[in-house]
Amino acid sequence: MKIYHNPRCSKSRQALNLLTESGKSPEIVEYLKNPISESELKSVIKKLGIEPIDLVRKGEAIYKEEFKSKDPSTVDWIKAMVEYPKLMERPIVVSGEKAIIGRPPENVLQL
């Protein structure tokens, strides 16, 4: 099990706490310090079963400044999230071939 985690995010902290309280010991990936690769992001998106645009945080300043008025392709969204990891929803928990976004944090208990 792996959690893409931002320790400054309360939802991410809550999700991690829920996992550890339930006896899980996930590998913690601080994706802002160690950015996710393009291939890894593609894999996560496939496991989530969503389109890349569905993983984008539309409230982020970088989204509003750089992308709101544009219509990037799927490939461009993946490249944007690799370049600007703050664009990614968080936390994301991956277990085997499944993944889930921890919003609300209780979602992570479904894995």
Kindly report, residue by residue over 16-33, the tens digit of the pLDDT: 999 999 999 999 999 999
CA distances, 29 to each of 9, 24, 64, 104 (Å)? 14, 15, 26, 19
User: What are the phi and psi torsion angles at 84 (to 5°)?
Assistant: -125, 80
pLDDT in tens, 27-62: 999 999 999 999 999 999 999 999 999 999 999 999
What's residue 94's pLDDT? 98
> Does the annotation mark 9 as catalytic?
yes
* Averaged confidence pLDDT in the chain: 96
Catalytic residue among 9, 28, 109, 111: 9
Confidence class for position 4, pLDDT limits 50, 70, 90:
very high
Q: b/e per residue, 66-77, with b = 16+ CB within 10 A?
A: ebeeeeeeeeeb
Domain that holds residue 56: 2-110
Question: Is 88 strand, coil or helix?
Answer: strand
CATH number at residue 103: 3.40.30.10
Name residues whose C-beta falls within 8 Å of residue 14's C-beta, 6 or more positions apart in sequence: 102, 105
Total structural domains within the chain? 1
